[in-house]
Structure 1
């Protein structure tokens, strides 16, 4: 009986809390990736990534992006949403799926004819850095006034996503200065060859059923042009087009950010696959992502269009 009483009186461990995933609501990434300006940032990343000859050749040889334009964009967004807001298991599963696909793929160097693996660490690092730079650049330029410390946290946090695609986090830039240094180092390798120009043409006018072409030209093309306009000066020089005036692009990004943020978040987040709504149900109402959560006296998101 004594043993029974001891067992009965032993403290019961609390039930496990909800799984925050790789980031969780306390992260800069969680709060910022719910911002609708991320769609423009994602398109900028594609323009930038296309400037690496091997990286873009890997896409051209192994992708059906020309015939499945919207599907490819949505799959990329789904991966980012899963990694940011999904459970740890879901994020790890998504990463394993990407690594498995990449391991089976190779492409031909357009300059040397050499075959190379798509999961070459140097290529994976370029794709990661171009994405993180684009996300951070467009967020801040559109009105999300992150402090320097928060920008560094964002870059550091996203080394978790780099690990998922097969990179060693220790070899990935951990702050904004290291990210800028990486681009200085890699710039001599970049050029705008035929593959890059094909990507640009595709992003400006993705294949669309004839009845939807007017809508594409009205809604999509301004987004694509704004994303292109936000590229760094060296990218404009490589593509051979004059860079638009920086103040003009900044004003347009701020206006676009304000307009997109004026759409009720609950409506925006209803779009499939609904990662943010699922995360909020899992983590509770306090997990609602908003860059306002990060604000300090020196870091305040523009008041118009609060999400």
Structure 2
């Protein structure tokens, strides 16, 4: 790249590495995905150009690898290369959605929104399952997120300037821009079906449903709980006081367990491996 690099890619010691690699983010990942695809531009792009339906595990693995790269686990240069690759990849993702609206994946609002859900997910995962970030931690994590937004090519004037501005921006997007589109409906339907066995599954095929079915229920309930209440209603997702109490009990247990959990056991294996080899 020529000139002075814009923004910054996270590195060792960053809060992005600590919280972005937390395996408990899996429990809120479906909510993050629904937040993303409920943006009309993102939803249309995924519907028309994504192969996730035909290759769910492949798409998941590629997404994790891409995240490890642009989050800096393979070094700053590799992170910037991945950021550039993502922008190039999205240049040709454009078309007309089912309502006749033109869309382009590099629309600044849509591109920022996908990145915004990353920050929201990191903060919310800690609030629900561990220890909420202190104001100083949140400010530091936000600064890292903002620097990464610039490195991803999002113009500075589109990016909220501080956590308070981000909160107002997030609430406005939820209230005014997110919609119950066909891609959200597809994600909800897929959540009712467990993933197929992962590549390289060595146990008998009959053993997979016994593992996948309860995990699917947990993911579905966690995702519903992690969504803003207004979106649960908009997406016609069932929720009740009894489900809320059950989820509160679950998160209470998770927070207690977190008190004695070694730092290493908070990190997803793929991210831990990337961290170990990071320069």
**Shorter-normalised TM-score: what interval?**
0.7 to 0.9
Whether the 8 Å CA contact 1:49–1:130 is kept in 2: the answer is yes
**In 2, Cα distance between equivalents of 1:66 and 1:147:** 39
| Gap regions ≥5 residues in structure 1 | 1-20, 283-307
| Gap regions ≥5 residues in structure 2 | 1-7, 198-204
Matched, 1:276 2:275: yes
Q: Deviations over 1:48-76 (max 9, x none)?
A: 22222221111111101111112222222
Q: Please name the residue that 1:86 is paired with.
A: 74
Write the mapping of 1:225-244 to structure 2, written as runs, cut at 5 A.
225-244=221-240
The count of aligned residue pairs is 259
Which of 48, 51, 55 does residue 42 from structure 2 map onto? 55
Which of 245, 249, 252 does residue 251 from structure 1 map onto? 249
Higher mean C-alpha deviation, range 219-228 or range 101-110: 219-228
Which of 117, 125, 137 does residue 112 from structure 2 map onto? 125
Write the mapping of 1:191-210 to structure 2, written as runs, cut at 5 A.
191-209=179-197
**In 1, Cα distance between equivalents of 2:118 and 2:240:** 22
RMSD over aligned CA atoms reads 2.7
TM-score by length of 2: 0.81
1:225 CA drift (Å) = 2.3
Q: Deviations over 1:189-246 (max 9, x none)?
A: 2221222111122234255156433322122331232122211111111112344445
Flag the 1:38–1:241 CA change in 2: closer, same or farther, 3 A.
Answer: closer
Write the mapping of 1:2-41 to structure 2, written as runs, cut at 5 A.
22-41=9-28
Flag the 1:256–1:56 CA change in 2: closer, same or farther, 3 A.
Answer: farther
**In 2, Cα distance between equivalents of 1:120 and 1:206:** 33
Structure with higher Rg: it is 1
1:254 CA drift (Å) = 4.4
Q: Deviations over 1:150-197 (max 9, x none)?
A: 112212211233234331134212332112111232222222122211
